[in-house]
């Protein structure tokens, strides 16, 4: 059989030179219906598998990814960007605010518009670019978890990928909650609390050699360190703005 891509002669289902499938037919509606979802989400390259794993065994799955079982998983940064985009798009279509929108709105209410105009500019950028805002926050939270779990033997980059997967799945959790709850019947911090519980569960599975209450305490320490970092960053921005 001659490969239609590289003209190599081969036998079997795939070309041994370029790897193309031997079953290459004319483009038709069947190909279109197969290619459209896979082209958008790469469903045949781990997206649904990754969602399933992060839903039922998140910590074990992420640990396996870090240890080398990476082929079945959707790439972490792509996963975070895609799930964040889906969450933001869904809230836009349903004419609702995201969790970050509500947080920034509350924070801006206590800011002097004239004096802190540059800070307002950055806050507006965060709400308008939430897909990338997740990537901006991730290094800080990963530094916090790295410091809290310093004795666990994982380096900073491994903590970064751990938290990227967690945050990507949290976006799907927020997406799910947005279809169930409305502002009239949901406590404003509910998405944050659910996301935090998921984070704790994932960390407990991931650091399986530690007892539950030790992991719980270290996760709480992670959030405390993260909040301190955020406050220091806001203070630094305020100082720079005043200068």
Domain that holds residue 27: 1-41
User: Is the domain of 87 the same as that of 188?
Assistant: yes
User: Is the domain of 30 the same as that of 64?
Assistant: no
Q: Can you give the pLDDT of all 243 residues of the chain as single tens digits?
A: 777 667 788 787 777 777 767 766 654 556 555 555 555 555 556 888 999 999 999 999 999 999 988 888 888 888 988 898 888 788 777 666 666 555 555 555 555 555 555 555 566 656 555 556 677 788 999 999 999 999 898 999 999 999 999 999 998 998 888 777 655 445 556 777 888 899 999 999 999 888 999 999 999 999 999 999 988 887 787 677 666
User: Please, which contacts does 116-123 make with residues 24 or more away whose CB atoms are closer than 8 Å?
Assistant: 116/238, 116/241, 118/237, 118/241, 119/234, 119/237, 119/238, 119/241, 122/237
User: Is the domain of 23 the same as that of 56?
Assistant: no
What is the dihedral angle through the alpha carbons of 88, 156, 51, 63, rounded to the nearest 10 degrees?
-170
User: Is the domain of 59 the same as that of 36?
Assistant: no
User: Is the domain of 29 the same as that of 58?
Assistant: no
CA dist 172 and 175 (Å) reads 5
User: Is the domain of 123 the same as that of 8?
Assistant: no
CB distance 138 to 163 below 8 Å: yes
Tally the domains of the chain.
2
pLDDT for 205 equals: 95
User: Is the domain of 118 the same as that of 196?
Assistant: yes
User: Is the domain of 221 the same as that of 104?
Assistant: yes
Greatest Cα pair distance, the chain, in angstroms, is 73
CB distance 42 to 36 below 8 Å: no
User: Is the domain of 34 the same as that of 56?
Assistant: no
CA dist 53 and 65 (Å) reads 11
User: Is the domain of 108 the same as that of 140?
Assistant: yes
User: Is the domain of 102 the same as that of 26?
Assistant: no
pLDDT for 17 equals: 78
pLDDT for 12 equals: 78
User: Is the domain of 52 the same as that of 31?
Assistant: no
């Amino acid at each position: 059989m001659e490969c239609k891509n590289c003209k190599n002669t081969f036998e079997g289902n795939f070309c041994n030179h370029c790897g193309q499938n031997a079953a290459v037919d004319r483009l038709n509606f069947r190909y279109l219906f197969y290619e459209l979802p896979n082209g958008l989400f790469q469903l045949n390259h781990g997206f649904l598998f990754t969602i399933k794993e992060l839903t039922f065994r998140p910590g074990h799955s992420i640990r396996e990814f870090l240890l080398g079982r990476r082929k079945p998983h959707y790439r972490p940064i792509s996963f975070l960007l895609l799930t964040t985009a889906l969450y933001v798009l869904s809230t836009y279509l349903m004419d609702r605010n995201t969790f970050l929108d509500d947080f920034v709105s509350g924070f801006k209410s206590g800011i002097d518009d004239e004096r802190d105009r540059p800070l307002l500019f950055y806050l507006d950028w965060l709400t308008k670019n939430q897909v990338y805002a997740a990537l901006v926050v991730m290094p800080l939270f990963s530094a916090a978890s790295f410091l809290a779990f310093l004795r666990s033997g994982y380096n900073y980059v491994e903590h970064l990928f751990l938290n990227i997967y967690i945050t990507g799945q949290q976006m799907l959790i927020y997406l799910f909650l947005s279809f169930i709850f409305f502002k009239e019947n949901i406590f404003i911090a509910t998405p944050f609390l659910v996301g935090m519980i998921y984070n704790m569960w994932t960390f407990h599975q991931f650091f399986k050699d530690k007892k539950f209450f030790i992991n719980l305490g270290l996760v709480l320490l992670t959030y405390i360190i993260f909040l301190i970092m955020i406050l220091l960053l806001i203070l630094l921005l305020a100082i720079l703005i005043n200068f």
